Amino acid sequence: MFINIRGGLFDLTTPRIMGIINITEDSFYSASRYNSESEILIAAEKMLSDGADILDLGGCSTRPGAAAVTAEVEKKSVCDAVGLIRKTFPQAVISVDTYRSEVAEAAVLNAGADIINDISGGEMDRDMLPLVTRLNVPYIMMHMQGTPLTMQLKPTYGDVVSEVLLWLSERAVRLRQAGVKDIILDPGFGFGKSAEHNFEMLRRFSEFRVAGLPLLAGLSRKSMIWRTLDITPDEALTGTAALNMSALMKGASILRVHDVKEARQVVTLFEKIYPEGILFDQYS
């Protein structure tokens, strides 16, 4: 439960908060979009002061039905933002949210990103997993059925937890055999799953720990919350906090969120309930 960040150990035995910074005009949650240098720096400073452990920067929307921007546009926007934050906040841990290997490579080697966060688990760019192997930086591998354009048309599973776990585990084994040391698994709430699939995965979230790797839960303001409650994404903060606590109680190591301060409060309360953390034999 430790990963290597620029030669130092980054502890995941206690829950970490990942703040979302979208450098795009097409994210599903408008308040997470930042387009100017000043907006990006203000957002980064606020998230870090509110308790973010990781900043996750993305330059291509992956909401359901989203159309992809070109690789060049994504690379420029992401690298500019990563470089800006690295220069201003040199100690910040920065993740780049991309499924394109050329964007990930430039962000890590040229701009200073620490982590690659890939929604497709290497499925949308065949060069991504070889790149991760070559760079050997921490890799967040998410499961997605289909692509952002098609994933919510008619997602189908026999047993969503078993199938997603098998998919993630097979790829993690291959990466480990290739020498990649730091892998984080993300089952992909809302990516090629119905609301029923999402709630089933959350109910059984602890089962993903059988892989023996840190888990990321990305539940923030997702449609499984606001559609269930018949509200809007802007009104989904309370629901997000509730589901984040559930994920922590079932073994999540990282919460990926839009609202860092509130997520940090959830983690603080969780640690009061479980001061020694969640043990494997406590999973249900």
Catalytic site residues?
222, 256
Following DSSP, what letter does each residue of 2-48 receive, concatenated?
EEEETTEEEE-SS-EEEEEEE-SS--SSGGGB--SHHHHHHHHHHHH
What six digits make up the tokens of 105? Answer: 């490579």
Instruction: Report how many helices (DSSP H) and strands (DSSP E) the chain contains, helices first.
Output: 9, 10
Q: Are 155 and 193 in contact (CB under 8 A)?
A: yes
Find the Cα–Cα–Cα–Cα dihedral 207, 208, 213, 217, rounded to 10°. Answer: -120
Question: Token pair 């509110």 is at which residue?
Answer: 50
Residues composing the chain? 284
Q: Which of 260, 172, 187 is nearest to 217 (CA)?
A: 187
Crossing angle of the two packed helices 160-177 and 195-203, in degrees rounded to 10: 70
CA nearest 1: which of 271, 10, 284?
10
Letter string b/e over residues 123-137, b meaning 16 or more CB atoms within 10 A of that residue's CB: bbbeebbebbeebeb
Whole-angstrom CA distances from 83 to 109, 190, 215 are 11, 30, 27
> Rounded to the nearest 5°, which phi and psi values hold at 139?
-130, 120
